[in-house]
Structure 1
Amino acid sequence: MRALLVVNPKATTTTERTRDVLVRALRSQFELEISLTRRRGHATELAAGSAADGVDVVVTLGGDGTVNEVVNGLMASGTGAASRPALAVVPGGSTNVFARALGLPRDATEGTGAILEAMRADRSRVIGLGMADDRYFTFCAGFGLDAAVIRRVERARLRGRVSTPALYLREAVRQYVVASTRHEPSLTLEAPGEEPEPELATAIIQNGAPWTFLGERRVESSPDASFDKGLDVLALRSLRAPGAAWAGLRMLSRRGPRPGQHVVRRHDLSEFSLSAVQPEPFHVDGDYLGERQKVRFLSVPESLRVIC
């Protein structure tokens, strides 16, 4: 069998030692090719090329952004999960939400062992993906507050800061203070067969659970979201009301906010759109994509085979 290892050398916890251990382990089972990413979008090109070249498995060593790029490259080929290379994920970023949502260890060395064991046992699962306009995502997308937080974190990293849970938490508090005092609800959720939900302040879209991790703690906005179902949405009507703070506390408690006066939740949607009065920050899988005024979301079931 042939495998491509895609390494993001700039990922937070990726080291040469981790890479060397992974390379030796993979070479014991595969005809292995190794590629290091050099720029944003490079992993997408590498994955698309490997699919066209008949590679059996693409292994990523990096964070969720690297995984997202590889997934988009794989999805550019074939017409179903069986016609595309399988995906194996070794955690190398700061959060590694997708890998951990699949039940893989957080540590890269342990994750490598788990992936190799799954390969030897021929163990995998086929998962669905989300799609935001023309971009696939594995576990989440965000329109509004959480995307603005990611934008702040990316700017901090450009200034030399290391991506840590503490950095995300600090920037989240700062962004919330700014948004809750200046931001008026401007989003509208529209789904086929439903009345539109206008005047929403921010929205989180999930293809799986949890939404993210704060260190070892799972943060749940839509606990029922699943790789085997459609998309889930959590939206807040206001960032100023006490209900917003209560929703945040429930996310940390792993129960997820309850729908009500301040909270809108939708489960297992096949398609919907979010539009804004003015452009709002937007991200997929923790990768900031700029500001958008409208995004159309689709659930794409049984898209990809994942080794786990």
Structure 2
Amino acid sequence: MRALLVVNPAATTTSARVRDVIGTALASDLKLEVATTEYRGHARDLARRAAEGGETELVVSLGGDGTVNEIVNGLLHHGPDPDRLPKLAVVPGGSTNVFARALGLPNDAVEATGALLDALRAGTSKTVGLGLVSGTPGTEDEGVPARWFTFCAGMGFDAGVIGRVEQQRELGKRSTPALYFRQVARQFVADPHRRHGTITVRRPDEEPVSELITAIVCNTAPWTYLGSRPVYASPNASFDTGLDLLGVTRMSTLSGARYATQLLRSTPERGPHGKYALTLHDLTDFTLQSQAPLPFQVDGDHLGLRTSATFTGVRHALRVIV
């Protein structure tokens, strides 16, 4: 099988030596080309060229969730082809690796490479659904390019936290649970909309739901990890269904502490719940609209401020080697 290994040299949990070992191991079973990313969006460009060239049968990501997201967007630049779904394999090399771990892969890059080689030899794979977010027609965000996501997107409070974490990482801070906790506290203090939400969820043939402070859209569970602890914002979310949504309509000190505790104690059976929590399951099409510009994120990548976003849950979008 002809394959392209896309390597992010800035991946936080692998070294140059480990990446060389992984490349050598994969080359023993694949006709492997190796490409190292050099700029933001490079993994997307590499994957797009591989998909359009027609000769590459598999793209392997060696990096974090951001690298995976770029590759997916490159592979699906022209949309999924039901007769020939793009093939992806993932070797986790980032700090969190939500997508890889949701697939059941080990979080260690070398162990995950061994699991990938076993899957290649056995010929096993899994078809997964993805989320697609685009600009909403008739709004100032109409022209925003569509973007695929593998595990989550969000508007409001959670995206604000991610933006703060990114700022700290650009200053050289390591991505740790402690860093996230500090930024959650700072976002809570600084968020001007946490008492009066500005987000409305609009679904076909359903009444709108308004005054959300944050909206977390999940394509799978867990939503994220704090170290080794999985966090379930939407426990029923799955690669086999549409999209799930968790919204919060009030975040006082008391309710904010309650929902934070529920997230930390969440399980595959139960996530955040209560009077001010909105949970929606298996959505195919919906729109988030805000009265004020709010932080927006896709797969943990902060994309600035948005007032609207239209979501589509696409089943059978990608084939993953597992």
Q: What pairs up with 1:287-302 in 2 under 5 angstroms? A: 287-302=301-316
Secondary structure of 2:191's counterpart equals helix
CA contact (8 A) 2:80 2:86 kept: no
- 1:19 and 2:19 matched: yes
Q: Where does residue 140 of structure 2 map in the other structure?
A: none
Q: Which residue of 2 aligns with 1:177?
A: 189
Q: With structure 1 as the length reference, what TM-score do the two structures score? A: 0.96
Retained in 2: the 8 A contact 1:189–1:275? Answer: yes
1:266 maps onto 2:280 in alignment:
yes
Q: Deviations over 1:69-110 (max 9, x none)?
A: 000001124642552431000000000000000000011111
CA contact (8 A) 1:127 1:302 kept: yes
- Please say which of residues 213-222 and 161-170 is displaced more in the overlay: 161-170
- Which residues in structure 2 correspond to 1:177-256 (within 5 Å)? 177-179=189-191, 184-240=196-252, 242-253=254-265, 254=267, 255-256=270-271
- Count matched residues: 307
* Counterpart in the other structure of 1:113: 114
Hey, what does 1:94 align to over in structure 2?
95
TM-score (norm 2): 0.92
Provide the rounded CA distance (Å) in 2 between the counterparts of 1:78 and 1:251.
34
3-state SS in 1 of match to 2:304:
strand
Quick check: 78-87 or 217-226, which moved more? 78-87
Q: Which residue of 2 aligns with 1:7?
A: 7
Q: Say yes or no: does 1:276 pair with 2:290.
A: yes
Change (3 A) 1:40 1:131: same
- Quote the offset at 1:206 in angstroms: 0.3
Distance change (3 Å), C-alpha of 1:176 and 1:160:
same
User: Contact between 1:209 and 1:223, CA under 8 Å: does it hold in 2?
Assistant: yes
**2:312 alignment partner, SS class:** strand
Question: Counterpart of 1:296 in 2: which secondary structure?
Answer: strand
Deviation larger for 164-173 or 192-201: 164-173
User: Structure 1, residues 11-57: CA drift from partner, whole Å, max 9, x if none?
Assistant: 21131122111111111011111111111111110001111222111
Q: Which stretches in structure 2 are left out of the alignment for 5+ residues?
A: 135-145
Q: What is the alpha-carbon distance in structure 2 between the residues aligned to residue 79 and residue 194 of structure 1?
A: 28
| Contact in 1 for aligned 2:194/2:252 (Cα 8 Å) | no
**Contact kept? 2:220, 2:238, Cα under 8 Å:** yes
Distance 2:50 2:18 in 1: 23
RMSD in angstroms over aligned alpha carbons?
A: 1.5
Cα distance in 2 between the residues matched to 1:148 and 1:21: 38
Stretches (4+) displaced over 4 A: 180-183
Measure the CA separation in 2 of the matches of 1:40 and 1:65. Answer: 10
Partner of 2:43: 43
Question: Quick one: distance in 1 between partners of 2:229 and 2:202?
Answer: 32
Q: Give 1:155's aligned residue.
A: 167
Distance 1:97 1:214 in 2: 10
Question: Residues 3 and 272 (structure 1 numbering): CA distance in 2 closer, same or farther, change over 3 Å?
Answer: same
2:149 to 134, 137, 144: 137
Cα distance between partner residues in 1 of 2:75 and 2:35: 15
Q: Which runs of 5+ in 1 are unaligned?
A: none
- Identical counterparts, % of pairs: 53
SS of the residue corresponding to residue 96 of structure 2 reads: coil
Q: How does 1:35-74 map to 2 (within 5 A)?
A: 35-53=35-53, 54-74=55-75
The corresponding residue for 2:34 is: 34
CA–CA distance in 1 between the matches of 2:61 and 2:196? Answer: 40
Residue 66 (structure 1) shift = 0.5
Aligned-pair distance for 1:170? 1.8
Worse overlay, 77-86 or 130-139: 77-86
Quote the Cα distance in structure 2 between the aligned partners of 1:81 and 1:205.
25
**Partner Cα distance (1:3, 1:23) in 2:** 11
